[in-house]
Structure 1
Amino acid sequence: MLSVLLATAGAVMSIKNFNNAFNNHHQRLGVALYGIIWLQALTGVVRPWRGCKGRSAWFLAHWLLGSVVCILGVISIYTGLGAYHEKTSRSTKVWAIAFTAEMSVIVFIYLFQDKWVHIQKQGVILGNEPVRPTEEHVSATDEMKQKESASENC
């Protein structure tokens, strides 16, 4: 909800303070993003309960809208930097490099978080050594296997 409110505040400020001829890609993308952000919020409000028929379709639509917002948002930053450069003739290379570095870090963290549990289980983080079973551990494991096989036979 905070994102919708901030986007609405940004849209109001843009309409009040800037020339909105919608003659460049950044302005058109902004309008499309604004509409998709509100559509995303509305799909969140009408979310079906788990187990309902339409839940899978809703999830796919909500996920796709969220992904589209993220991708168009990134594209909008670069087109905005281009529009700023055209209007002011000032260089935007530093801003483009800074934003690219920021996005690279975010993507790295996003992809890394999925693998973090796997890496921890491997015992390679922070010098953790893999656990070697002791005699007590082996005998306890054997007892558990025997109990499981006995219960499976029942």
Structure 2
Amino acid sequence: MLSVGLITFNEELRLERTLKAVQGLADEIVVVDSFSTDGTVEIAQSFGAKVEQISWPGYGMQKNNVIERCTKEWILLIDADEVITPELAKEIKEVMEHGDYYVYEIPFNSVCFGKRIRFGGWSGSSRVRLFKRTSGHYSLDEVHEQFLTSDEIGKLHHRIDHYTYEDYYDYL
């Protein structure tokens, strides 16, 4: 019922936490990797992910590459530094069964240096991350890609934790 899709490049420090959070939620994990030089591919494969390596064409096109490889009715497309909370996983299961929409935005919490950022505009935004496979695609923009759909967009209540920077050196 649910494909979890990710694009990756040298994400070995973040990927395990992200994939652990979708265990039990994902029926398949699809990773499109841009020829990582670290252990990203091996970590993804250890979680049973289908991994394909494709040279980097930009964010929009690479996310569309993931969508094309997903086989389930629903897709949860997340980044390697985004973690699904248990509450969000439960909500996703509910809307896939009984929801009113085919496309959903999910709100974000930003986590920086191990602390949740509550002020300053870093948290509180929402992005389309959950959708039926046939409900749309990403713009071809290299950066700041947007999900394009003619379907009405619903909004989930529980949040994704977005781990922006792990420490000061990561920030630099």
Q: With structure 2 as the length reference, what TM-score do the two structures score?
A: 0.24
Higher relative contact order (CA 8 A, sep 6+): 2
Of Structure 1 and Structure 2, the greater strand share is in 2
Give the structure with higher Rg (CA): 1
